[in-house]
Amino acid sequence: MTERSQPTTGAATVEVPHGSRSVVLRVAEVVTETADACSLVFEVPDDLREKFDYKPGQFLTLRIPSELTGSVARCYSLASSPHTDDLPKVTVKRTEGGYGSNWLCDNVKAGDELELLPPSGVFTPKNLDENLLLFGAGSGITPVMSILKSALARGTGRIVLVYANRDADGVIFAAELRELVDKNPQRLSVIHWLEPLQGLPTADSLAALVAPYTEYEAFMCGPKPFMDRVHDALAQLDVPRTRTHAEVFNSLAGDPFADQAPVEVSEEEAADAATVEVELDGEIHELSWPRKQTLVDIMLAKGIDVPYSCQEGECGSCACTVLEGKVEMENAEILDPEDIENGYILGCQARPVTDKLRIQF
């Protein structure tokens, strides 16, 4: 792997962050992964180390300059592992017509600065000792790779990876995966699925392939058609929905880097507010929850460091679980019906319906 040559137009230096939550980091290295994918490795100053502690499978939100809109925000998964890599690394694959991915691959070079939000996301194993069944397609390998390396380094279970690509040239991390298999032959199996050889994967073919691993915890990331087939395959095999985890990214239309305006609550709204008990990072917060405000709104107003990124219901950073009570959500398309049935909600979209609620992040 070698550093990409400098493009004719470099990324602009970022002088100050555009919001209180974002930071500016220097790019330590740009690595060519394939003809259409590169990785950005970031330097993290000592005073930001704690802020940039991350879990396997999480992502960073990058602010990308745009002549039309000033900037766009895009989420990119961390391919690095907090247990094996000194510096955080995101991997970006060009998408046809994708402004953010093409701008990053064309313009960013070592020494440039980018503005980004701290690590976020819930696509991460609770227990690295579990046996893991991992699915990745194309650049969907990125968070899966972070989980895989972390489980090998700190876990004890077996890991099976099914990795689908259009052709062999598109296999990101091909050499690294071969090396990991060579070093961990008893724990790691990698199954490549290449369209020229096997065609497009179907639910039936995937079900037959992974039938021996139905007791494993499943994680998947990739294009929606691929993940739909994986979901169908696991459903055929009666894998419980609670043991199936999917990472989904959508382009963000808003500006998650801007500070949110203070929540204003009238006396009438305050009198009719619900009460909620929120568990976050082992702490319990008892809050008044006005009916017109979202959960993220009221937690930010109280100075609570709630996980969130887009506030549009598009990234899943603020996903949490309703233990008691009921909420309504304006946009919850990122959640599967099974997720909602199991109590999952998006804090940035949730507003209270019942008078009393308990919620856990």
Check residue 69 and give its pLDDT: 73
Q: What is the pLDDT of residues 301-347, one digit of tens each?
A: 898 988 888 888 888 889 999 999 999 999 888 888 878 888 999 99
User: 138 and 103, same structural domain?
Assistant: no
> Looking at residue 291, what DSSP letter applies?
T
Final residue of a structural domain among 192, 216, 247: 247
In the chain, the number of structural domains is: 3
- CB-based contacts of 355, cutoff 8 Å, min separation 6: 274, 275, 325
- Judge if 225 and 293 occupy the same domain: no
Examine residue 3 and state whether it is found in any structural domain, yes or no.
no
User: Tell me: the pLDDT tens digits for 71-84?
Assistant: 889 999 999 999 99
Residue 260 counted as domain residue: no
In a domain, 258, yes or no: no
pLDDT at res. 12: 55
167 and 95 in one domain?
Answer: no
Is a pLDDT exceeding 60 seen at residue 3? no
Distance, CA of 116 to chain centre: 14
Based on the domain organization, do 223 and 288 belong to the same domain? Answer: no
Q: Is residue 6 very low, low, confident or very high in pLDDT (cuts 50, 70, 90)?
A: very low
Q: Please tell me whether residues 139 and 223 are part of one structural domain.
A: yes
The two structure tokens encoding residue 165: 């690509």
Determine phi and psi for 298, rounding to 5 degrees: -70, -30
Domain boundary among 247, 278, 293: 247
**In 10 A of CB 26, how many CB atoms?**
15
Decide if 256 is inside a domain: no
Enter the tokens of residue 198: 């096997």
Domain assignment of residue 172, yes or no: yes
3 Cβ partners below 8 Å, 6+ apart? 29, 30, 31, 32, 110
289: exposed, middle or buried (C-beta count within 10 Å: 0-12, 13-18, 19+)?
Answer: buried
Q: Residue 242 domain-assigned? A: yes
pLDDT at 2 over 50: no
pLDDT for residue 16? 67
Residue 15 lies in a domain: no
pLDDT over 70 percentage in the chain: 94
Q: Which of 115, 134, 100 lies closest to 250, judged by CA?
A: 100
4, part of any domain: no
Query: Could you tell me which residues come within 8 angstroms of residue 121 by beta carbon, excluding any fewer than 6 positions away?
Result: 55, 57, 58, 59, 77, 143, 247, 315, 316, 317
Q: Tell me the C-alpha distance between 282 and 279, whole Å.
A: 6
What's the mean per-residue pLDDT of the chain? Answer: 91
Do both 106 and 138 map to the same domain?
no
Residue written as token pair 């989980």:
147
Domain CATH for 319? 3.10.20.30
**Residue 31's domain spans which residues?**
23-118
Residues 231 and 288 in one domain: no
Same domain, 104 and 170: no
- In whole angstroms, what is the distance from residue 56 CA to residue 148 CA? 8
Tell me, yes or no, whether 138 and 237 share the same domain: yes
Q: How far is CA 106 from the centre of its chain?
A: 23
Its sign, for the CA torsion 47, 51, 53, 59, is negative
> Tokens in use for 316?
């899943």
Q: Which of 118, 148, 173 is the last residue of a domain?
A: 118
Three-class SS of residue 8?
Answer: coil
My answer on whether 210 and 311 are in the same domain is no
The tens digit of pLDDT for each residue in 175-191 reads 999 999 999 999 999 99
Q: What is the pLDDT of residue 15?
A: 60
Same domain membership, residue 343 and residue 278:
yes
Q: Is the pLDDT of residue 10 over 90?
A: no
Using alpha carbons, list the distances in angstroms from residue 260 to 128, 263, 300, 311: 36, 9, 9, 10
- Enclosing H/E stretch for 102: helix 99-107
| Strand ranges across the sheet with 356-360 | 283-289, 274-280, 356-360, 319-324, 344-346
* CATH number (domain holding residue 27): 2.40.30.10
Q: Examine the pLDDT at 13 and tell me if it is beyond 50.
A: yes
Task: Report the CATH number that the domain containing residue 242 is assigned in CATH.
Answer: 3.40.50.80
Q: How confident is the model at residue 1 (pLDDT cuts 50, 70, 90)?
A: very low
Q: Are both 174 and 145 inside the same structural domain?
A: yes
